[in-house]
Structure 1
Amino acid sequence: MEKCLVFVYLASLLLGSCAAYCNSPFISLKNYCYYFSEKKATWTSAREACQDMSSSSDIVDLAVFDKSCDDYVHVVNHVIGLGAERWWIGGTDEHHEGYWRWVDGRPIDMISGYWSPDEPTARYGENSLSLSEFTDEVYSRWRVEDHYSNTTQHYICQQGVAESFCNNPFMELGSSCYYFSDQVATWESARAACKDMSSSIQTADLAVFDRTCGDQANIVNHVTDLAPSKWWIGGSDDLHEGYWEWVDGTPINMIREYWAPDEPNGYERENALILFRRYNETFPRWRIGDHDSNDTHYYICQSTD
Structure 2
Amino acid sequence: LCSIPLYKVLFFSGEPHDMKPKKQCPNGWTEYCNRCFIYVFHAMSWAQAQRNCDFMKANLASVHTFEEYKFVQHLIFNSTHASQQTWLGGSDAQENGYWFWIDGTQFRYTNWCPGQPSNYYYEQCLQMNFGGHKCWDDAYCTKLLSSVCAKKI
Taking structure 1 as the reference length, the TM-score comes to: 0.43
Q: 3-state DSSP class of the match of 2:10? A: coil
Consecutive unaligned residues in structure 1, runs of 5 or more: 1-16, 28-32, 34-54, 60-159, 199-203, 280-284
- Pairs within 5 Å for 1:185-264: 185-198=44-57, 204-210=58-64, 214-225=67-78, 226=80, 227=82, 229-253=84-108, 256=110, 258-264=111-117
User: Radius of gyration: which is bigger?
Assistant: 1
Structure 2: runs of 5 or more not aligned: none
TM-superposed CA distance for 1:259, in Å, is 1.4
> Cα–Cα, structure 1 residues 167 and 266, in superposed 2: closer, same or farther, change >3 Å?
same
Whether 2:28 is the aligned partner of 1:166: answer no
Residue 291 in structure 1 maps to residue 139 in structure 2: yes
C-alpha separation between the residues in 2 aligned to 1:269 and 1:230? 19
Encode CA deviations 1:103-139: one digit per residue, 9 max, x unaligned.
xxxxxxxxxxxxxxxxxxxxxxxxxxxxxxxxxxxxx
8 A contact 1:270–1:293 mirrored in 2 = yes
> Could you tell me which amino acid in structure 1 is paired with residue 150 of structure 2?
Q
C-alpha separation in 1, matches of 2:7 and 2:52? 38
The answer as to whether partners of 2:112 and 2:135 remain within 8 angstroms in 1 is yes
Partner of 2:119: 266
Identity of aligned residues (%): 22
Asked if the contact 1:173–1:219 (Cα under 8 Å) also holds between the matched residues in 2, the reply is: no
CA RMSD between the two structures: 2.9
* Distance across 2 between alignment mates of 1:259 and 1:265: 10
| Counterparts of residues 45-84 of structure 1 (less than 5 Å) | 57=19
Count of residue pairs brought into register by the alignment: 147
Distance in 2 separating the partners of 1:56 and 1:19:
6
After TM superposition, list the pairs within 5 Å mapping 1:105-144 onto structure 2: none
Which protein, 1 or 2, shows the higher relative CO under an 8 Å CA cutoff with sep ≥ 6?
2
